[in-house]
Amino acid sequence: MIELENVAYSYGGGELLSEISLKLAPGSFHFLTGPSGAGKTTLLKLCYGALIPTAGHVRLFDEDVRGMDSDAIAMMRRRVGVVHQDCQFLDHLPLADNLAMPLMVSGRDLLAEQANLKELMNWVGLSARADALPPELSGGERQRAAVARAVIMSPDVVLADEPTGNIDWEMSQRLLRLMIELNRMGKTIMIATHDMALIRAAKSQVQARVLRISNRRLQLAGADL
């Protein structure tokens, strides 16, 4: 699905990532770890075509990202759901409209999708908040909303950038269960996180690879996590 081959990425005159090779196979589950500034967000952006590598090859669904024009990348991104770290929403629109935004942008029939939207909001436990404006949501509600928005298009791959960074342990566990459910539905999952406790909790429930960025390179973390 997503393959990086000997990828490097330079920023500000210095190399941030080097010799990165990675395959995200269908239905696989990955954690991406590493210290702040190691390049986790950059690696995720390479995985959905938001950044172009300075060396090596990134293949997204068998197409080299270098040969894709902006329209092709936009179409490809419908197959990749991204849970961003900053959880940006349009504050003047109610939550339900924010979640439906990817459907509208892609030209879907919103009336035909209402049942799916309602089911998705129930799945993330936000049915009662459909009419709430984003500033009225708690941190945990915003994170669950970000997950819902990322999967509204039923993507094949979900990439989550520190989705539990600003919420308590109970809510982190709830978000983790959502990700595991998505994986059991056949979705490929990669979560960037520094939370080792979250990774330990996940490894008792799902077969997950733990990857670590260290000294600009990607390593398979030890089994003692």
Structural domains of the chain ordered from first start: 1-79+155-225 (3.40.50.300), 89-150 (no CATH)
pLDDT recorded at residue 222: 57
- Compute and round to an integer the Cα radius of gyration of the chain: 17
Cα 167-171-177 angle, rounded to 5 deg: 130
Residue 86 CA to residue 158 CA, distance in Å, equals: 16
* Segment 35-56, tens digit of pLDDT: 888 899 999 999 999 999 999 9
Q: How confident is the model at residue 14 (pLDDT cuts 50, 70, 90)?
A: confident
Residue 217 CA to residue 219 CA, distance in Å, equals: 7
Please say if the pLDDT value at position 223 is more than 70: no
What are the two backbone dihedrals, phi and then psi, of residue 170, each rounded to the nearest 5 degrees? -60, -45
Question: What tokens were used for 2?
Answer: 């997503």
Q: How far is CA 141 from the centre of its chain?
A: 17
Strand arrangement, sheet containing 55-60: 14-24, 2-11, 55-60, 63-64
Residue 44 CA to residue 54 CA, distance in Å, equals: 15
* Segment 51-109, tens digit of pLDDT: 999 999 999 999 999 999 988 988 898 899 999 877 789 999 999 999 998 888 888 87
Residue 203 CA to residue 14 CA, distance in Å, equals: 35
134 vs 109, residue with greater confidence:
134
Which residues, in sequence order, are CB contacts of 109 under 8 Å at separation 6+?
none
